[in-house]
């Protein structure tokens, strides 16, 4: 097996695996080489003559609709009349239409309303008005993967999922760049589903950065797991627990805030720019030694086992059923949990400190 340039790693089925991870079993799914599409792989003419309806005008809807328009696509925006998003779309130069009207003439329908609103949107407004050969598109697979939406067999069903917030989808496009995207094909009724989806990805700037092939199931399950175990849930709980540990030991809350929350951005930026290795290069040897010897004591084998439990509940549909039931019951428990986070003492400390951070205020 050829050795990788990094002496601390080896090449395994298309992935670099660092020395300490050699004991991991590499499954056949992991061994499959990743397929990535770029500008040369997209047919820029595939959207000619097509009407694209974007449903929703939040972070992703606004960015994707504007990028599509600037790429020369014929775009309409479907919204609930006279709401705040309706007025924003008008201010941005669109002539929004009610959901049903936007659906009637659309060849491609990109559904970008919140997950819990998609089923009602589809059943009430889109399904009765779909053209026989219209393509349904998503930027997250939740409703298709968990069978909340079940399109008829005659429709292409695809996904183009930018791996960034909407504001970056827009600003990177305006710079002449783009953000990476995922592509997945759930139904290929026309035989041209991938061609159309890639053309859509190109029109929002995705092929400039690369479009990774996946499935609705893989995108949904990995996205939910990342949010719950690491990016949102895991990071939040780690920050709170670290802050509480320092404050309970008698340290100043403000110093604890800087160490456990504020400086996290510096580390994450290094991760983003060049992975764990780049972070290790820019922090001190003292920080690195403490990280590699004490980090595994905090996020240990038991933590990984609990992560596996979280993943299992995503895979078997337990989380989807729980979240759907919570939404349908009115969401009081959800609101209470959010309020508890909002009222955590670290938030009061942070709000006071951030008032003195002019660079943050300017960014907002």
Q: Give the number of other Cβ atoms within 10 Å of residue 91's Cβ.
A: 8
140 annotated active-site: yes
List CB contacts of 119: < 8 A, sequence separation 6 or more: 143, 148, 149
Q: Which of 140, 145, 155, 186 is catalytic?
A: 140
CA distances from 338 to 113, 236, 334, 342 (A): 21, 12, 6, 6
| Tally of CA atoms within 13 A in the half-sphere of 227 that contains its CB | 11
- Residue in the block written with tokens 């959901």: 99
Query: What whole-number distance in Å separates Cα of residue 336 and Cα of residue 45?
Result: 50
Structure tokens given for 263 = 């400086």
DSSP code of residue 188: -
Structure tokens given for 283 = 């922090």
Query: What whole-number distance in Å separates Cα of residue 235 and Cα of residue 338?
Result: 15
CA distances from 255 to 100, 240, 241, 263, 351 (A): 54, 14, 15, 11, 14
Residues 207/162, Cβ–Cβ less than 8 Å: no
Query: What whole-number distance in Å separates Cα of residue 56 and Cα of residue 76?
Result: 11
Helices (H) and strands (E) in the chain, counts: 19, 11
Query: What whole-number distance in Å separates Cα of residue 236 and Cα of residue 341?
Result: 9
Structure tokens given for 282 = 């820019």
205: three-class secondary structure by DSSP: coil
Structure tokens given for 30 = 């992991």
* Selection from 107, 95, 123 nearest residue 50 by Cα: 107
| Catalytic residue numbers, as ranges | 140
């Amino acid at each position: 097996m050829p050795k990788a340039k990094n002496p601390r790693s080896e090449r395994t089925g298309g992935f670099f695996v660092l020395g300490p991870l050699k004991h991991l079993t590499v499954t056949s799914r992991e061994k499959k080489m990743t397929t990535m599409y770029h500008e040369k792989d997209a047919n820029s003419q595939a959207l000619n003559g097509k009407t694209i309806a974007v449903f929703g005008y939040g972070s992703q809807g606004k960015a994707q609709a504007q990028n599509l328009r600037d790429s020369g696509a014929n775009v309409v925006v479907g919204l609930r009349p006279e709401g705040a998003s309706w007025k924003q779309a008008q201010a941005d130069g669109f002539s929004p239409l009610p959901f049903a009207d936007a659906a009637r003439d659309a060849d491609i329908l990109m559904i970008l309303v919140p997950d819990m609103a998609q089923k009602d949107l589809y059943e009430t407004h889109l399904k009765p008005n779909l053209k026989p050969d219209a393509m349904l598109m998503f930027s997250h697979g939740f409703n298709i993967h968990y069978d909340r939406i079940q399109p008829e067999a005659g429709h292409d069903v695809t996904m183009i999922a930018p791996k960034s917030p909407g504001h970056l989808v827009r600003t990177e496009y305006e710079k002449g760049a783009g953000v990476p995207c995922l592509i997945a094909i759930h139904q290929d009724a026309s035989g041209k589903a991938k061609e159309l989806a890639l053309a859509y990805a190109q029109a929002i700037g995705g092929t400039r950065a690369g479009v990774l092939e996946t499935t609705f199931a893989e995108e949904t399950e990995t996205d939910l797991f990342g949010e719950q175990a690491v990016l949102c849930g895991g990071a939040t709980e780690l920050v709170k627990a670290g802050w509480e540990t320092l404050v309970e030991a008698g340290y100043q809350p403000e110093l604890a805030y800087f160490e456990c929350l504020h400086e996290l951005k510096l580390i994450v930026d290094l991760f983003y720019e060049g992975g764990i290795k780049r972070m290790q290069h820019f922090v001190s040897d003292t920080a690195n030694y403490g990280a590699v010897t004490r980090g595994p004591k905090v996020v240990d084998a038991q933590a990984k086992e609990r992560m596996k439990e979280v993943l299992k509940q995503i895979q078997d549909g337990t989380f989807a059923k729980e979240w759907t039931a919570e939404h349908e019951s009115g969401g009081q428990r959800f609101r209470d949990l959010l309020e508890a986070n909002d009222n955590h003492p670290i938030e009061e400390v942070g709000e006071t400190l951030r008032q003195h951070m002019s660079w943050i205020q300017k960014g907002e």
